[in-house]
Structure 1
């Protein structure tokens, strides 16, 4: 017999949430338990009724089967529909979790104390709070799919109670805002180093134009993955724009297409690329970032990532006087607050140049 109950809970902001708890009893003993939280009571009631009906119509003992977290992660890995749609970072974390002690725990027996121990182990191994948070977030994501995809009971509800505790203990947290921009001197050294790498390349089949790609990345504010997906057919030479497909977005990546202006010398960079492929830059993005990192490390340039070039490009546009909405048209940001707070780091001395330009215009 399956039954549900609704618990009204007040949140920190004064609003309410509604937790629907379901239990299934057989011979007077609870053989299955699960819960889910909703923003509205009506949604919680609907889910509770539908879920109880499903559990009574199906064999709850079969649904209630459990395996280890390691086995569940392997099931996720072997499911092509899920794995092929999984991003690089999440794949890395899932593979890493398979080798952690937490993977030995049964899916229905995971406790807050287990998550605390895992986070402490990761912290002691040198991982920061933001990195450890990925472990927790991606493990929760996999465990939420256990029941609907494989009919396996997994205690994913424990994360709702555990995450505030982990935050209070400072074991997990958000990544700190990066403010790193390359200096002019660093960029000059990088370009020289990348050019020397190109000149000394012994690979006769692939000659990656590192300098062009670096300049293009800054001028367009594109992620390296986006740069390497650009197609000649999507280039509009009359308007000097390019159709960028599947731009990254927290809510929707697939189908998130944008027309992006090719500002500065970025259009000229595209035009001088040889048309040997349907792609404008037919190279693997890991090869480009790897080459960048090798040159950076050889030059002794510290704490500079390839993705920082995106911030550099956005900051340059702001310094040139482009509005927030105009810069977003280049970067692809839907959330303007994120664009301003995360991808902007203005150099104060650049304001002198803007003032000089405006003064020059007044005197004309």
Structure 2
């Protein structure tokens, strides 16, 4: 919905000026604001009426630059874009709306603006890998400015800016994690998780934390994948399960994959109660939250739930599976990433194979 106001201002010389400000609201939020000043009130009023008519007939932002905050808002309001946006990217985009860089016009973004933003984030304690997400996701939104919203923007500035930001050490890739839980840590975690599930057994939902922990390691699945497995996709004859929409940077949906349930993972799945369509009908966040509370209470440092995926892949390599066979379990299309990121072999295990 478009509207305008006229504000009267008096110059030091005593002359009067009339500022016409155009507002466009969507879902109760201002998504566009522009203004122009005139010597006469009637000229300002005529401009306001004509501009509103133009907006309603041609669209609010037809091939015009807007503050980056407005562009970010439009991205958020575009359902078929926002619904396909991951949780981390959503958080970053919403955070960027409150940063100084959001006031920069979409076609006037300069490398110096990005440097200033990254320096401010660094002063606030953000790591280079975290700041890189700001730059990457802002770039992603700006690339859609012209084709999706017909907004003038200059996303090509990132070609110049990113190498400079890397050279300055303001952005960078996250360090490769090599953390694997020790046998002692896993035993302590299982005891702690067992106590937690027994303590909460009287509640409406009893999460089998220890089963899910073992299943996550044996299958190398992400916790979201574990909690999304369906009974109808379980093949009891072949001891396999279909993992739907498995994460893939090149394909967001429809990346279904049949995965073998090795070792005891099949038995763990079969002993779950068939309460609904899901084998593990629990909120992934509740599972990781329980894991984190037990981990913290035990004083176990720097261990994330996702590290269990690396633990599972490394165990398969130590058992002698080939990289292609391990990829059938983990779902990796890029074998180089699987080898470099998801394996951390214990040298002493080589003695057992020898």
Task: Give structure 1 stretches of 5+ with no counterpart.
Answer: 1-58, 356-364
Shift of 1:145: 0.8
1:63 and 1:147 in contact (8 A); partners too: no
Distance 1:62 1:190 in 2: 55
C-alpha change, 1:89 and 1:322, in structure 2 (3 Å) is same
Do the aligned partners of 1:68 and 1:105 also contact (CA within 8 Å) in 2?
yes
Q: CA deviation at 1:60?
A: 12
2:328 pairs with 1:342: no
1:82 and 2:84 equivalent? no
Q: Which 10-residue stretch deviates more, 201-210 or 248-257?
A: 201-210
When residues 147 and 348 of structure 1 are mapped into structure 2, their CA distance, relative to the original with a 3 A threshold, is: same
- Measured at CA, do residues 61 and 300 of structure 1 come closer, stay the same or move farther in structure 2, by a change above 3 Å? closer
Mapped partners of 2:335, 2:64: distance in 1: 46
Structure showing greater Rg: 2
Greater mean deviation of Cα atoms: 88-97 or 193-202: 193-202
Q: How many residues align?
A: 297
Distance 2:206 2:183 in 1: 26
- 1:69 maps to 2:72: no
Question: How far apart are residue 70 of structure 1 and its match?
Answer: 1.1
Counterpart residue number, 1:288: 287
- Distance in 2 between the 1:307 and 1:149 partners? 35
Report the Cα distance in structure 1 between the residues aligned to 2:217 and 2:173, rounded to whole angstroms: 26
> By how many angstroms is 1:202 displaced?
6.5
Once the two structures are superposed, the pairs formed by residues 43-54 of structure 1 within 5 Å of their partners are none
Label 1:301 to 1:205 Cα distance change in 2 as closer, same or farther (>3 A): same
Secondary structure of 2:258's aligned partner: strand
**Counterparts in 2 of 1:306 and 1:151: CA distance versus 1, 3 Å:** same
SS at match of 1:102: helix
Partner residue in 2 for 1:326? 325
Please give the alpha-carbon distance, in whole angstroms, between the structure 2 residues aligned to 1:189 and 1:62.
59
Task: Provide Cα deviations, 1:123-158, integer angstroms capped at 9, x if missing partner.
Answer: 111111111110000001011111111111122111
Match of 1:266 in 2: 265
Aligned-residue offset at 1:253: 3.0
Query: Deviating runs (4+, > 2 A) in structure 1?
Result: 59-64
Question: Taking structure 1 as reference, are residues 284 and 62 closer, same or farther at Cα in structure 2, changes over 3 Å only?
Answer: closer
Return the offset for 1:61.
11
The CA deviation at 1:64 is 3.0
Instruction: Measure how far apart 1:292 and its partner are.
Output: 0.8
Residue deviations 1:225-271 (CA, integer Å, cap 9, x gap): 11111000000001111111111111113111111100010001001
In 2: Cα distance, 1:253 partner to 1:80 partner: 16
* 63-72 or 309-318, larger mean C-alpha shift: 63-72
Question: Which residue of structure 1 lines up, in the alignment, with residue 164 of structure 2?
Answer: 165
After superposition, give the CA deviation of every residue in 1:24-71 in whole Å (9 maximum; x if it has no partner). xxxxxxxxxxxxxxxxxxxxxxxxxxxxxxxxxxx9996332221111
Gaps of 5+ in 2: 1-57
Distance 2:335 2:226 in 1: 22
Output the CA distance in 2 between the equivalents of 1:121 and 1:196. Answer: 44
2:315 is aligned to 316
Query: 1:9-158 counterparts in 2 under 5 A?
Result: 63-158=62-157
Equivalent residue, structure 2, for 1:44? none
Provide the residue aligned with 1:41 in structure 2: none
Provide the rounded CA distance (Å) in 1 between the counterparts of 2:251 and 2:59. 35
Instruction: State the alpha-carbon separation in 2 of the partners of residues 64 and 327 from structure 1.
Output: 50
Report the 3-state secondary structure (helix = DSSP H, G, I; strand = E; otherwise coil) of the residue aligned with 1:75: helix
Instruction: Say if 2:228 is the partner of 1:232.
Output: no
Q: Distance in 1 between matches of 2:315 and 2:166?
A: 35
Give the secondary-structure state (helix, strand or coil) at the position aligned to 1:260. Answer: strand
What is the aligned-residue RMSD (CA, Å)?
Answer: 1.5
SS at 1:242 equivalent: strand
Check whether the contact 1:107–1:155 (CA below 8 A) recurs between aligned residues: yes
Instruction: State the TM-score, normalizing by the size of structure 2.
Output: 0.82
- Partner in structure 1 of residue 18 of structure 2: none
What is the CA-CA distance between 1:200 and the residue it aligns to?
1.2
CA deviation map 1:276-328 (0-9, x unaligned)? 01010111111111111111111111111110000000000000000111100
